[in-house]
Amino acid sequence: MTKAYCIRRDEVIDYLERECEKFGFDEALTTDFVTFWAPYLMRSEYVLVRFLSAEECNKVAKVNINSPETIQLVRAYLVYKPLEEQISLSEPELEYSVFDNSQPTIFDWGGFEHY
């Protein structure tokens, strides 16, 4: 990872909640996302984190939706790497999905550890 955020353990939950808001997650979805990922990201004193772009998500996890109606797909996949000390990298640039609350939406989230 050449572009990522280096986050201190005690900042992980706030960081994840802010990112979920940018993706448009509601409170329940945010709670699920943070409850799942925070323990992984808090295993070390620092963690590198970045979210994948839509194109990167499609490469690692293809989705095929067959529906007669238009369904929006919002994808939030993160990549993380535990660290014992802080490092500085360039911040990633990510376009967050803009979606219409009046249309059916599928929120797809996931991620993996970078070795």
**Tens digit of pLDDT for each residue in 15-73?**
999 999 988 888 999 999 999 999 999 999 999 999 998 889 989 888 888 887 888 88
Q: What is the pTM of this model?
A: 0.87
Place of tokens 């590198």: 48
**pLDDT for the residue numbered 30:** 94
Residue pair 71/105 in contact by the 8 Å Cβ criterion = yes
Contacts for 28 with CB less than 8 Å, ≥ 6 apart: none
In this predicted structure, the answer to whether residue 97 has a pLDDT above a threshold of 80 is no
pLDDT at 98 over 70: no
Mean of pLDDT values over 5-10: 96
Q: Is residue 94's pLDDT more than 90? A: no
Give the integer Cα–Cα distance in Å for 112 and 36.
12
Mean pLDDT of 74-86: 94
d(CA 12, CA 58): 26
